[in-house]
Structure 1
Amino acid sequence: MSDAAISDFDEFFGSFESVDSSKKKERQAGEKKYTALKIIVAVLGFFLLAEGVIYAFILPCFGRPAVVYSGLDSVAKKDVAERLAPLANSTWTGFDTERAVSILSNISYIEQVSVDKRFPDRIFVSAKQRVPVAKTILSVNGVSKSVQIDENCVLFSIQSDSILQDSSVPLVSGLPIDNLQEGMRLPAKYHVLMEQISAIRSLPQKYFAAISEIQVVPKEYGNFELVLYPTQAKTRVLTDRSLTEDALKYMMVVLDVVNSIEPDVVEVDLRYDSLSYRCR
């Protein structure tokens, strides 16, 4: 091979290496740009994610919490919200659930309550209200006050028109309550009476709609009897402490018969398994 041919080959090979090196440099430059772009995108993504976490989770923790109530009627919900207002004005992180439970546990019409914090800004107040089976009217500081009684003989008060106007919740008078303290219990001997009233209220027939008042009359040796005042009659009915569906049915039949015979009857006595009545 001549020197001219070798020189041409070297020149061609050198030119090839130069092109290859140029492409390699371009490829490396492209890879650097791509890597830099990925880093920029990753950094921007991190900041966007961090901003989202801050706005979605961190900031709500330091803002006023959203309080969610369950198990309360509209009247009780409003009252509970007012009592928890000082705590609800604090931040979610500063909301004291133990104090909230302590405040709500002292409300006489609440039987059970739990308060839970849920991240990032929710407070859940779950309560169980007492169910009134009877009501009574008491004088408190010279003012008449309606007080409800549940099946466990606990006295509580909630100013709800639905309860006051509910004819299925009978008015019980004559209970030995001198100094009212909400949340107090009646003596154990009245527990059976409240259970009997609760059982009658659970029946489909609205028996207590026909009775305006149930009066408790104490007897010697700690016992008691009952006086029932029918709504549509001026006759009062004396009976023992057994208040059952059968006893109420019997009372209504007796009133119909007695009033048909003697219209001026003012009192019917069903005690001692006998029947007697007294006229004006």
Structure 2
Amino acid sequence: MSDFLYTDYTDFYSQQLVDGESTEKKVTNKRMKIVRVLITLLVLVIFVEVGIYVFVIPCSKPANVIFTGVNSSVAKMFQDEIQQKCGSSWLKFNVGVASSILVSNPAVLSATVEKSFPDKVYISIEERIPVAVTLTEKNGRTIPVQIDKKGVLFETNTVNIDKTVPLITGLPSEISEKGKRLSGLYLSLLEEIEKIQNNNPEYFLALSEIHIRPKEYGDFELELYPINSKVRVRMDRNLTSESLQYMMVLLDVLNTINPDINEIDLRYGAVSYTTKSRSVTGGSRVE
């Protein structure tokens, strides 16, 4: 009788299959992880490139400076200086330095500087409004310097000065420099000039010059020179629309009486005039 050895291999092969499937799953999972990492890296690269093109490159370009409140010639003057000192790119543009450059110019009353992503810089400027103009020396040349209602002297690039802005001469030489301020003694005169400009600007079209003649104790009086006339008109410091109107009427009347008049005096509430040969005193001024 033969002996048979029977061995059951079912469990052995089953274990091998399980181990094989487990190994295959591990390999598959590892591959999937690698694929996920590669996809993630690819997405990150795309985002970085998009960010560079959308954000970094525009910010690195020269700043697009946009001015408001001034004409093109004034904007060009400021733009050249600002681009030299504040950085050409938007990222490096220094708002504080730009603001300092603007407000240090006497012609600028106020200014705001704002950066707007990705490449724009907005500059808003409020210029001083001249109420009068005077003359000063610069580099051996006589140039006009404008004066605002607060007595601040400033230069401007404007070629043609408004003819309703009167010329004032006789100011103290030490203040005839841009950026300086007139003495408070003259502020009332500037305020009156501004009122006339707002209400009757055509009166200044009839004047070629307002000359300030100093008096004792720090006061002053005025000498007015009508345009196209050799007559000098003297009056006190109180320049008003009424006094200018009275002066023009009086000029017409006296020119018909005596065309040789060279000076009219409206001071002290009376009217007098002089000719080349004599002086005539009239009656009190009629208001």
TM category (shorter chain) comes to 0.7 to 0.9
Q: Aligned to 2:178, which of 169, 178, 182?
A: 182
Q: Aligned to 1:246, which of 227, 242, 245?
A: 242
Q: CA deviation at 1:93?
A: 1.5
- Unpaired runs of 5+ residues, structure 2, are 1-34, 277-287
Contact 2:135 / 2:176 at 8 angstroms: preserved in 1? no
The one-letter amino acid of 1:150's match is D
The one-letter amino acid of 2:215's match is K
Q: CA deviation at 1:205?
A: 4.5
Instruction: Kindly indicate whether residue 224 of structure 2 is the aligned counterpart of residue 228 of structure 1.
Output: yes
TM-score, normalising length: structure 1: 0.80
Task: Figure out how many residues of one structure are paired with residues of the other and give that number.
Answer: 242
Structure 1 match to 2:164: 168
CA offsets per residue over residues 159-198 of structure 1, 9 Å max, x none? 31122xx211110000012264421100001001111111
Contact 2:106 / 2:155 at 8 angstroms: preserved in 1? yes
Instruction: Kindly indicate whether residue 93 of structure 2 is the aligned counterpart of residue 95 of structure 1.
Output: yes
**Alignment map for 1:85-234 (pairs within 5 Å):** 85-87=83-85, 89-163=87-161, 166-178=162-174, 180-234=176-230
Contact 1:65 / 1:88 at 8 angstroms: preserved in 2? no
Contact 1:155 / 1:184 at 8 angstroms: preserved in 2? yes
Contact 2:164 / 2:201 at 8 angstroms: preserved in 1? no
TM-score, normalising length: structure 2: 0.78
Relative to structure 1, the CA distance from residue 234 to residue 97 in structure 2 (aligned partners, 3 Å threshold; closer, same or farther) is same
The one-letter amino acid of 1:250's match is Y
The secondary structure found in structure 2 opposite 1:168 is: coil
Contact 2:134 / 2:168 at 8 angstroms: preserved in 1? yes
Q: Distance in 2 between matches of 1:102 and 1:266?
A: 51
Structure 1 match to 2:67: 69
The one-letter amino acid of 2:269's match is D
Q: Distance in 2 between matches of 1:155 and 1:94?
A: 34
Relative to structure 1, the CA distance from residue 99 to residue 89 in structure 2 (aligned partners, 3 Å threshold; closer, same or farther) is closer
- Unpaired runs of 5+ residues, structure 1, are 1-35
Q: Distance in 2 between matches of 1:95 and 1:87?
A: 9
The secondary structure found in structure 2 opposite 1:209 is: helix
Q: Distance in 1 between matches of 2:201 and 2:101?
A: 39
Q: Distance in 2 between matches of 1:194 and 1:214?
A: 12
CA RMSD of aligned residues (A): 2.3
CA offsets per residue over residues 202-254 of structure 1, 9 Å max, x none? 12551111000000000000000000000032211001111111111100111
The one-letter amino acid of 1:237's match is V
Relative to structure 1, the CA distance from residue 269 to residue 145 in structure 2 (aligned partners, 3 Å threshold; closer, same or farther) is same
Q: Aligned to 1:278, which of 274, 278, 283?
A: 274
Contact 1:237 / 1:269 at 8 angstroms: preserved in 2? yes
Q: Distance in 2 between matches of 1:108 and 1:66?
A: 25
The one-letter amino acid of 1:239's match is M
Contact 2:86 / 2:94 at 8 angstroms: preserved in 1? no
